[in-house]
Structure 1
Amino acid sequence: MNVVHSEIDDPCWESVKAQIGRIRRAFGASSVTCGVLHRGEPVFHYAEGLADIRTQRVADADTIYPIASCSKAFTAATCAALVDEGLLSWDKPVSSYLPEFQTVNNAEVSQEATLVDLCSHSTGLAPLDHAIIGFHDSYLNDAADQVKISSNLPVLCDFRTAFVYNNFMYGVVGEVISRVCNKSLGSVMADKIFEPLGLLRTHVRTADYPLDGNVAQGYSVLDDGSFLAVGDPEIQDGSVHAGAGLVRSTVNDMLRWAKAVMLAEKQQLSTDPQDTSMKRNLLPGVAFTRSARTHIVPDSTEGENSYGLGWFRHTIPSRWLGSISPNFMLLPDPPVIGQHSPERLAICHYGAIGGFLSALYTFPETCSAVVVLANSSPSRGDPTDLIAQCLCQELFDMKPRVPLEHFALKAAETSKLIWPALVRNWVLARDKTDIVPVPIDYIGTYRNSGLQLRIDVFESQRSSARSLGRQQYDLEPLSFTINKQARQTAKLKHYHWDVWTFLPNTRDDASRKGMELYMALPLVLLSFVRDNTGQVRWLDWDLYGGYDQPELSDAVYTIDPVRFDRISSAAFN
C-alpha cells in the first residue's frame, strides 16, 4: 500500500530559526550552520554564531568544518567506484589486498572479512580508540601502523553477529584503497567524488584550505561558558583512521553531495529503462552502499534501524536516531519525532571529533536532505543532532511537534554531571591508605608491541611538593609519556595499592590538558602488576574504558585491560 506523506507548503522557517538559536545556546556552541534540500532544491539556509572567535568571522553556508564520521559515506562511495572499475571486489577478503591484515585474536576475520564487513561494522573487533587517540585528540601512531594495530584489536563479539561501530576498520579500508590505487585515499576520493561533483570547498587536508580563511575553529566549552580553542583534528589524508573521518566540508557542498547520492541511487534502483534522471552516473554503486547490511538493534520490534556501508538507516519514528551522537548517552529517554505521522525512511550519519559535530539526513523518497555543522565540543552534548531533527519535523510536518530545545537543555545539564560523577566514583573506589609505595619501583619503560604502544614512567620534577612537618612529600612523584610524544605526558599520583592515577583537578583542567575523552574511571588509572618475587613486571591500562555500544548480541566477550610488558627499569631520559 502506498503511503501519502504530508508536507508543509510553506514551513515556518522563522520559528525554526528561533529553535536553532535556543538549542545552540543550550549547548554553548560557538556556531551552527545548516541547510535543507527538498525535491532536489535548496529551500533553507541558516547560520548563526562565530566560526572563529579570535577573528570574529561569522559562520555561513560556505564555512568549512571537519565532518568527522560523516566521511564514512565518502569512503564507501570511493570503494564502490573502484568496484565498478574492477579494481576492488566487495566479495574478496580484505587480506587479499592487505596480506598483513592478520587478526591475531580472531583469525576468521582476516580469513573471511570483506570490504562489506569492514564498512558495515560487523567484524566484532573492539573499537579500542584510546589505543590510537591520546590527549588533545592527537594520534599516538602513524598511518603505517594502523593495519598492524587493527590486526591486534581484542574481540568484543563473534564475527558477523552484531553491529560494533569501529573506526579502525574504516582506517583499514582507506589503506586498501591506497594500496590498489598507489596513491592516498584523499587523492582517490578527490578524483572519484569531489571533482566530478564540483565539491570545490571539500578537502581532506588542512593544507588545502582556501586562502579566504572561511574555516571554522574548533572549541571546547569551559564551565564558565567561555571558549577554549582546540587544534584542528589530526585526522586527515595520510593519518591513522583517515577513512573514518578525513573529510572537511560545508553546508552547501554537503547538500550537493546528498543530492548527487540520491539521484544516483534512484537511477541505480530504477527498473524503468527510460529513466534518465542522470545522463551519466557519477557515483557508480552508491545505492549498494546505502542498502541495509547490519542491524544495529537485534530483534527489534520497531521499524528498520540498520547500517549500510557508511550510512545509518532508520524508519522514523525511531528512538535510535543519533545513536552514535554524544546525546545518546546523555538522554536515556531520547526524543522520538513523527510518532503520529506516516513512517518515513531516513538514510543518515552523524559525526563527532574534538571541537566539531555534524549531522546529515537524506530522504530518498522526496530527494530531501538536512545538513547541520557546528564547532562545538562533543563532551558538552550535540546541537547538530537535535537541530537536524528539528528541521526534519518541520520540513515534513511531523506530528506531534517535539520541543527539541527541552531535550537540548536536559542533555546539556546531564553533561555537567559527568565530571562530578567521575570524581565521586574515583573517591568511592579508592582504598584510602596512607601507605605510598616507593615510586622508584615503577620507573621504567613498558611496551605493548601489538598495539604499537610504549609508556615511559619517570620521576616528576618536584613542582608539587608539599611540606608535611619535617618531610617533603611530592603529591605527584611520577609522570608518564606515551610513545615518547611530549604532548602525551601526564603526572601520576598514588591511588591505592599498585594503582596510580592521572585524574585532573577539575573538568576545566581536563579540557586544557586535552583529556575530555578520558571521562571514565578506568581510563585515568594505571595498574602496575608484580611477579611472584614482588618485582613490577607489567602495567595494565583499561583502554576500552567500559565503552558501551547501544546493543550487542549475546556472544559478547570481556575486554581485558591492555597489558604492557616492562622492558626496562631505567629512568626515562
Structure 2
Amino acid sequence: MFLAAAVGILVDKGVMSWDDPIQKHVPDFNPLGDPEIGERATIRNALSHTTGLGRPQTVAWGPNGCAVVDESSFVQLLNHAQTEDQEGPRFRRKQYYYSNQAYAVVALAVQNVSGSRYSDFLEENIFKPLGMHDTVAGDRGIEACRNKAHGYAKLQDGSFTKIDTTSWTDGKNSPNLAPAGIRSSVKDMLIWLAALLDSQRNEGVENKAIRGLSSIWKAQADIGPDLAYCLGWYRGHLPSPGFGGISINYRTFSHDPESYLGKYVIGRDSPRKTFIGHSGNIAGFACSTYVFPETSSAVVAMANGLDLGDAADFAVKLFTQALFDSKPAVDIVELAKQEATHHERFFEGMLLDWLKFRDVGPREPDIENFVGTYEGFSIRINVFIREETGRLAFNFNSLEKSECDLEFYCKDDEFEIYSFMPLKRDEWLSRGMMDWDNYAVGLFYFTRDEDTGEVDALCWLYEPVEPMAWFMKSN
C-alpha cells in the first residue's frame, strides 16, 4: 500500500503514469519467457498482479531468513521468472497471479524516477508529512529502538525463539522493502488510515502525502466472488468469506468450505459494507489493515508470531465484528483454534509426503561428483563438502547465512535427488522457512552428462505450481 502511494505521488507530479511500461523506468526489465511483458507490462499491471510474472520468492528469499539476491542483480532474477502456465502466457490473458517480486521491481522504478532511495522517498514524502515517527522502510535506526518487537517462533516445548529477518529489511536492498521491509506501529498505521479516509471523503483536497487514491482503490482484477484486487489493496463487501482472504488463515475454509460459510462469515445477517484492505506476513510477523469507507472506520492489527495461523487477521475479524455489532455473532476464537489445528497438521502432512517418496535403497553416489557451482536465475548455488561432517552442503551466492546440509533422498533413471527440507517443525519455524510449504521445494534434482557421466546440472522446483528451474554446473 505504501508503494502504491509512492507511485501516486509521482503520477501527481507528472513524472510517472500508472500505464507507463515498467521498462521505461527500469530499462533492464525484460522477462525472457515472454518478451511482450518487457515491452508492454505497466506499473498498473505490476501493482494489480497482472504482469503474468511468476513468484521466485524462495529464490530471492532463501532459507534461514536470508535475502539471497541484492539490488544489483534483482532485475536479472526477475527476468528469469516463469511467465506462463498450462493455458499459455499469463500476461496476454491479464490473469491475476500474485507476485511479490513484480511489486519489488516497481520500487526500483520509484527510485529511478525520483532520484532518491526508495526508503528515503517514503520517509520524506509519506512518513514525515503524516507524523508517522515510528515507521521506517528498512533498518534505519531500528537497532537503537528500544520499543521494537522481534519476530518469534513458538517451539514444541512452549518456548520461543527469535527469527532473524534482518537481511529482508536491509535498507540497501530496495526490492525487498516494497513487499516485506517496512516496520511500523499500530498508532502510526491508524494515522495513515485516517489520512486515507480523510482524502477519500474530501476528494480533490488530498493530503500531499496521499495522491491518486481514486485510482489506487479502484478495482483492477477479479480475484474471487465479489472480490477485486486494486493497486496495493483488495476490496470486497461484508458479508464475504473473502474478508481476510489474503491471509494465511485459509486452511479451515479449504478443509470444509460449506461449514466455514455457515459458521464463520462475519455479518451474514447484517447490512452490506464495503471493505478495502490487505493482509501480509513474513516469518515471525503479520499485519492486517482494513478501511470501511462508508462509515469512515479503520481496523489494524499486528502480530509478532505466525506459527499456528495469522493472529493479526483473527484480531481484525474480532474488532470488525464488535465495531459493527455484526449478526449473527461468529465465534472467532473457535475459528482460530480450528485454524491452529490445521496449521499444526499441515507440517505433519508435508513430512509424510517427504517420507512417502524417499528411497535410500540405492547406494549413495560419490559425493565428490556433486561439488561445484551451479548457475541460473542470475544466482549461484555452491555445493561443497563440510569439513566437520564430510557431508554435502550448499549455500546461495556464497552467503554463509543461507547454508543448508544436503541429505541423500532417492535416485531414479533421470535424477539423483538430495534434500535440505527441515524434518522437524521447530526447525522449519525457527529457520524462517514457512514459505517452503511443499516437500518438493526442499529437494535438488541433480543430472549427469550422458557422455561423460559427470554431474552437470541441478533442477529445483522452487514453486510447486511452476516448472523446474535449471542451474548449470560451471565448475
Amino acid at match of 2:272: E
Counterpart in the other structure of 1:536:
455
Pick one of 31, 51, 56 that aligns with 1:103. Answer: 31
**Could you tell me the TM-score, scaled by structure 1's length?**
0.76
**Does the residue aligned with 1:296 lie in a helix, a strand or coil?**
strand
- Shift of the 542–103 alpha-carbon distance from structure 1 to 2, 3 Å rule, reads same
**Does the residue aligned with 2:200 lie in a helix, a strand or coil?**
helix
- Shift of the 260–432 alpha-carbon distance from structure 1 to 2, 3 Å rule, reads same
Contact residue 346 and residue 363 of structure 1 kept, 8 A? yes
Identity %: 29
Instruction: Please tell me whether residue 327 in structure 1 is matched to residue 249 in structure 2.
Output: yes
Counterpart in the other structure of 1:517:
435
Pick one of 96, 120, 128 that aligns with 1:163. Answer: 96
Counterpart in the other structure of 1:460:
386
Alpha-carbon separation, structure 1, partners of 2:62 and 2:338? 29
Amino acid at match of 1:537: D
Pick one of 223, 238, 242 that aligns with 2:172. Answer: 238
Q: Deviations over 1:445-468 (max 9, x none)?
A: 1111xx2221121223353xxxxx
> Is the deviation greater in 341-350 or in 209-218?
209-218
Q: Deviations over 1:355-404 (max 9, x none)?
A: 11110010011110001011113x42111111101111111111111101
Q: Over the residues paired in the alignment, what is the CA RMSD in angstroms? A: 1.9
Residues 35-74 of structure 1: matches in 2 within 5 Å? Answer: 73-74=1-2
Counterpart in the other structure of 2:400:
486
- Deviation (angstroms), 1:233: 4.1
Alpha-carbon separation, structure 1, partners of 2:286 and 2:118? 22
Q: Deviations over 1:92-136 (max 9, x none)?
A: 211111111111111111111111111110111111201101112
Amino acid at match of 2:293: P
Counterpart in the other structure of 1:444:
372
- Deviation (angstroms), 1:280: 5.4
Amino acid at match of 1:515: M
Instruction: Please tell me whether residue 314 in structure 1 is matched to residue 246 in structure 2.
Output: no
- Deviation (angstroms), 1:282: 4.2
**Does the residue aligned with 2:281 lie in a helix, a strand or coil?**
strand
Counterpart in the other structure of 1:69:
none
Of the two, which has the highest radius of gyration? 1
Alpha-carbon separation, structure 2, partners of 1:106 and 1:344? 40
- Shift of the 166–235 alpha-carbon distance from structure 1 to 2, 3 Å rule, reads same
Instruction: Please tell me whether residue 435 in structure 1 is matched to residue 354 in structure 2.
Output: no
Alpha-carbon separation, structure 2, partners of 1:480 and 1:521? 18
Pick one of 399, 418, 442 that aligns with 1:500. Answer: 418
**Does the residue aligned with 2:280 lie in a helix, a strand or coil?**
strand
Contact residue 372 and residue 388 of structure 1 kept, 8 A? yes
Contact residue 56 and residue 78 of structure 2 kept, 8 A? no
Residues 80-91 of structure 1: matches in 2 within 5 Å? Answer: 80-91=8-19
Pick one of 165, 187, 195 that aligns with 1:252. Answer: 187
Counterpart in the other structure of 1:392:
320
User: What is the number of equivalent residue pairs in this alignment?
Assistant: 456
- Shift of the 429–190 alpha-carbon distance from structure 1 to 2, 3 Å rule, reads same
- Deviation (angstroms), 1:266: 2.4
Alpha-carbon separation, structure 1, partners of 2:301 and 2:34? 39
- Deviation (angstroms), 1:265: 1.9
Counterpart in the other structure of 1:342:
271
> Is the deviation greater in 328-337 or in 387-396?
328-337
Contact residue 162 and residue 296 of structure 1 kept, 8 A? no
Alpha-carbon separation, structure 2, partners of 1:422 and 1:382? 20
- Deviation (angstroms), 1:315: 1.0
Amino acid at match of 2:286: L
**Does the residue aligned with 1:390 lie in a helix, a strand or coil?**
helix
Q: Which has the higher contact order (CA 8 A, sep 6+)?
A: 1
> Is the deviation greater in 93-102 or in 327-336?
327-336
Instruction: Please tell me whether residue 200 in structure 1 is matched to residue 133 in structure 2.
Output: yes
Unaligned runs of 5+ in 2: none
- Deviation (angstroms), 1:83: 0.5
